[in-house]
Amino acid sequence: MTVIGVLGLQGAVREHVRSIEASGAQAIVVKRTSQLDDIDGLILPGGESTTMRRLIDKYGFFEPLQQFGQSGKPIFGTCAGLILLAERIQGQDQPHLGLMNMIVERNAFGRQRESFEAFIDIKGVAKEYEAVFIRAPYIVEVGEGAEVLAKQNDKIVAAQDGHYLACAFHPELTDDHRLTKHFVQMVEESKKTLAS
Ligand code: GLN
């Protein structure tokens, strides 16, 4: 069975576990770096990116996570996880993991709109998808080879770059598991490719 890990240092972890299971894969909460060997794909959940980064460093996850991505195993960054994945963060000198070819801006929808829901179309994945945004970032620009999957108010809110997937909203907070299912399929396909 396909096993997907959720980085369990901080943030919306349990909800992702439920969504992965509802999408037909096995889920584990990753709290130690050695668990990265047991999984085929990884979700970086929403939460607070600077706190998560601090914990990534504290528990020695920084290089193992970069190696995990560079080995070709899929990573899905949601909200704060999207910020962790980005190659560039607007207004910051250094990115976090810097794995995915895109520029992001934090807390991009303004204070009045701390959290809101919107129905969006996600290219090739879902139409009329209920997206929950909480102090959400957005993607300013994707680099060559990366594909824009969804926009909200002209801002890019979901994208894919090869085996990296990112969204600015919280796909784990509703019962619509179509985006998580899409990630499960990416992981299943990568398993075949990496095995051959
Ligand atoms: N604004 C948060 C950050 O910068 C992300 C919010 C979220 O994950 N819901 O990390």
With the C-alpha atoms ordered 92, 74, 151, 130, is the resulting torsion angle positive or negative? negative
How many whole angstroms separate alpha carbon 110 and alpha carbon 35?
37
pLDDT at 111: 66
Atom of ligand 1 nearest to the CA of 79: 8
Ligand 1 binding pocket mutation candidate from 7, 117, 134 (most atoms within 8 A of CB): 134
Cα-flanking dihedrals φ and ψ of residue 14, to 5°?
A: -60, -35
Burial of 96 (0-12, 13-18, 19+ CB in 10 A): buried
Q: pTM, whole model, 2 decimals?
A: 0.97
Domain that holds residue 36: 3-195
Closest Cα to residue 38, out of 9, 68, 11?
68
Phi/psi zone of residue 91: left (φ > 0), alpha (ψ -120 to 50 degrees), beta?
left
How many whole angstroms separate alpha carbon 183 and alpha carbon 172?
12
Mean pLDDT per 10-residue segment, the chain (196 residues): 97 96 98 98 97 98 98 98 98 97 90 85 97 96 96 96 97 97 98 88
**Paired strand residues for 27:** 4
Ligand 1 binding pocket mutation candidate from 10, 16, 107 (most atoms within 8 A of CB): 107
Q: Provide the domain count of the chain.
A: 1
CA angle 58, 190, 56 (to 5 degrees): 5
Cα-flanking dihedrals φ and ψ of residue 114, to 5°?
A: -50, -45
> At 22, which CATH number?
3.40.50.880
**Paired strand residues for 103:** 88, 141
How many whole angstroms separate alpha carbon 96 and alpha carbon 94?
7
ipTM: 0.93
Active site residue 79: yes
Residues contacting residue 64 through CB under 8 Å, at least 6 positions apart: 33, 36
